[in-house]
């Protein structure tokens, strides 16, 4: 533990954080601070297997970073129940508060955030217009509502929770539509799988002439694009009727 610092009260030259940040842990009546890489520390908090040596800058444990006030070895050992500086650092990162900005948090969660926005854009609509909200409008509502996003929780589960949280900001609800497709014999082989891919088939009926009637439940946000794509692929030969919405 040579890099921790000798005794409580020792003062050292101030360290410029640069691209790093602090993780802060309030415990045993003390505030402890540790300099870390913000993104790697965040990944470690999320449960990723990240080498602790890549996360921590110098394994110097501070009582007050801005003043260069280090924590003493004896105090740290008592608090963490170990003399291993790497174990101490892991505990601090997992239990502590990572000092990152809202913009950094959004950037770290971008992939999951985009998946949630895409889900809501596809499955939800404005109940007044029956059309989906643009992704940027959904994103702004998520920001305005201060919705929490977890990198490891399933997209659908989070999207349904977030939908309730943003309903006070924009009119939005989950809807689906039942669409009947009547496919002429010459198009069944080419379009059968395409139509199925848009949603859940609830009824399938083959005619004596080889024609096919499919009723499919489709997320409300893609009704228009579904109808347009099937019409384009069949050159207008497939008859499509929206039976129900809701």
CATH number of 200's domain: 3.30.70.240
In a domain? residue 62: yes
pLDDT at 90: 95
- Both structure tokens of 235: 């050159």
Q: Which of 78, 98, 118 is the last residue of a domain?
A: 98
Long-range contacts of residues 196-201, Cβ cutoff 8 Å, at least 24 apart: 198/222, 198/226, 199/226
Check whether 2 has a pLDDT greater than 70. no
pLDDT at 214: 96
Check whether 13 has a pLDDT greater than 50. no
DSSP states of 106-129: HHHTHHHHHHHHHHHHHHEEBTTT
- Both structure tokens of 151: 């990198």
13-22, 75-84, 168-177, 195-204: lowest mean pLDDT where?
Answer: 13-22
Task: Note the pLDDT tens digit of each residue in 215-237.
Answer: 999 999 999 999 999 999 999 99
What angle do helix axes 135-145 and 110-123 make, rounded to 10 degrees? Answer: 120
Judgement on whether residues 29 and 77 belong to the same structural domain of the protein = yes
Judgement on whether residues 155 and 189 belong to the same structural domain of the protein = no
pLDDT at 16: 57
Check whether 141 has a pLDDT greater than 90. yes
Residue bearing the bigger pLDDT, 7 or 166: 166
Would the pTM of this model clear 0.95, i.e. be above it? no
- Both structure tokens of 137: 């409008």
Q: Which of 135, 157, 174 is the last residue of a domain?
A: 174
pLDDT at 216: 97
Rounded to whole angstroms, the Cα distance separating 205 from 231 reads 20
Counted residue by residue, the chain has a size of 246
Rounded to whole angstroms, the Cα distance separating 21 from 93 reads 12
DSSP states of 27-48: ETTEEEEEEE-HHHHHHHHTT-
pLDDT at 86: 94
Number of domains present in the structure of the chain? 3
In a domain? residue 189: yes
Judgement on whether residues 182 and 232 belong to the same structural domain of the protein = yes
Judgement on whether residues 28 and 94 belong to the same structural domain of the protein = yes
Judged on CB neighbours under 10 Å (0-12, 13-18, 19+), 109 is middle
Judgement on whether residues 180 and 234 belong to the same structural domain of the protein = yes
Rounded to whole angstroms, the Cα distance separating 238 from 231 reads 6
Helices and strands, counts by H and E, the chain: 10, 11
Q: Which of 44, 65, 98 is the last residue of a domain?
A: 98
Mean pLDDT, the chain, integer: 90
Range of the domain at 30: 21-98
Judgement on whether residues 124 and 68 belong to the same structural domain of the protein = no
Which among 193, 21, 192, 206 has a CA at the least distance from the CA of 101? 21
Judgement on whether residues 93 and 145 belong to the same structural domain of the protein = no
DSSP designation for 210: S
C-alpha distances in Å from residue 57, one per residue of 44, 60, 108, 109, 138 = 15, 8, 20, 23, 38
In a domain? residue 193: yes
């Amino acid at each position: 533990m040579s890099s921790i610092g000798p005794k409580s009260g020792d003062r050292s030259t101030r360290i410029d954080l640069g691209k790093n940040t602090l993780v802060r842990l309030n415990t045993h009546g003390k505030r402890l601070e540790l300099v870390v890489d913000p993104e790697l520390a965040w990944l470690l908090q999320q449960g990723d297997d990240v080498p602790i040596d890549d996360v921590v800058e110098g394994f110097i444990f501070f009582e007050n970073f801005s003043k260069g006030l280090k924590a003493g070895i004896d105090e740290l050992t008592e608090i963490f129940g170990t003399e291993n500086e790497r174990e101490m650092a892991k505990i601090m990162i997992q239990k502590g508060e990572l000092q990152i900005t809202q913009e950094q948090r959004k950037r770290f969660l971008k992939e999951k955030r985009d998946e949630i926005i895409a889900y809501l854009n596809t499955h939800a609509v404005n109940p007044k217009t029956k059309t989906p909200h643009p992704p940027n409008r959904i994103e702004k509502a998520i920001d305005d509502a201060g919705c929490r996003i977890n990198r490891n929780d399933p997209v659908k589960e989070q999207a349904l929770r977030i939908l309730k949280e943003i309903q006070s900001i924009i009119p939005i609800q989950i809807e689906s539509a039942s669409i009947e497709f009547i496919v002429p014999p010459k198009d069944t082989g080419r379009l059968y799988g395409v139509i199925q891919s848009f949603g859940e088939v609830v009824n399938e009926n083959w005619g004596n002439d080889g024609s096919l009637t499919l009723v499919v439940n489709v997320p409300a946000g893609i009704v228009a694009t579904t109808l347009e794509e099937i019409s384009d692929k069949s050159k207008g030969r497939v008859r499509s009727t929206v039976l129900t919405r809701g």
